[in-house]
């Protein structure tokens, strides 16, 4: 299963659409958004592109009731998890949280194949040795919106458990 991982769209729905279109054209089957969506309207156009989106809120909470309502009314196009999410996709155990330091802690547990975060606006992919003797991928897609950093997302292949940072044009 191929996925796209995005974060920190900060109300820039047009840039989120560009990221989701790139992911869809690559063959992604789902999008993980690691927070700082801000408003639910940021997701509306991207919802129409046919990829289910798993979303957490981050530190810029925005309108949580509106986000919950949007997810409820989306018919599964948006799954709003709140502040963090533990999920299984493509037979992989995944965890999403906005903050990198908490993501690192979750990666160290060995409970997940990959842990995703945002917040820093800096893309990075790291193999973290965990307490069970194996490793977990720690993935930060950077920011879709830019804000002094390149506009980036991560494309991931869960079967191969491989991830690549991609720039948005």
pLDDT at 148: 86
Q: Which of 101, 9, 93 is nearest to 56 (CA)?
A: 9
> 95-139, pLDDT tens digit by residue?
999 999 999 999 999 999 999 999 999 999 999 999 999 999 999
- Answer positive or negative: Cα dihedral of 80, 86, 92, 96: positive
pLDDT at 11: 94
* Average pLDDT estimate for 138-148: 95
pLDDT at 61: 83
The domain over range 2-167 is classified in CATH as 3.60.21.10: yes
> 24-56, pLDDT tens digit by residue?
999 999 999 999 999 888 999 999 999 999 999
Per-domain residue ranges for the chain?
2-167
In this structure, of 7-16, 57-66, 84-93, the range with the lowest mean pLDDT score is 57-66
pLDDT at 119: 97
What are the tokens at 77? Answer: 């196009």
**Model pTM score:** 0.97
pLDDT at 41: 87
pLDDT at 63: 85
pLDDT at 133: 97
* Average pLDDT estimate for 54-82: 92
Contacts by 45-48 with C-beta closer than 8 Å and gap 24+?
45/13, 45/14, 45/16, 45/17, 46/13, 46/16, 46/17, 46/20, 47/74, 47/77, 47/78
Residue-averaged pLDDT of the chain: 96
């Amino acid at each position: 299963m191929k996925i796209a991982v995005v974060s920190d769209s900060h109300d820039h729905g047009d840039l989120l659409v560009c990221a989701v279109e790139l992911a869809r054209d690559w063959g992604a089957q789902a999008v993980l958004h690691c927070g700082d969506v801000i408003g639910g309207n940021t997701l509306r156009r991207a919802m129409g592109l046919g990829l289910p989106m798993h979303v957490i809120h981050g530190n810029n909470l925005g309108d949580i009731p509106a986000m919950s309502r949007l997810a409820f009314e989306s018919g599964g196009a948006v799954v709003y998890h709140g502040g963090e999410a533990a999920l299984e996709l493509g037979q992989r155990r995944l965890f999403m949280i906005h903050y990198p330091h908490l993501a690192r802690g979750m990666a160290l547990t060995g409970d997940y194949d990959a842990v995703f975060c945002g917040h820093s606006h800096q893309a990075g992919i790291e193999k973290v040795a965990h307490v069970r003797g194996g490793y977990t991928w720690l993935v930060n897609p950077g920011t879709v919106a830019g804000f002094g950093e390149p506009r980036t997302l991560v494309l991931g292949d869960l079967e191969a458990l491989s991830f690549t940072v991609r720039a948005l044009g």
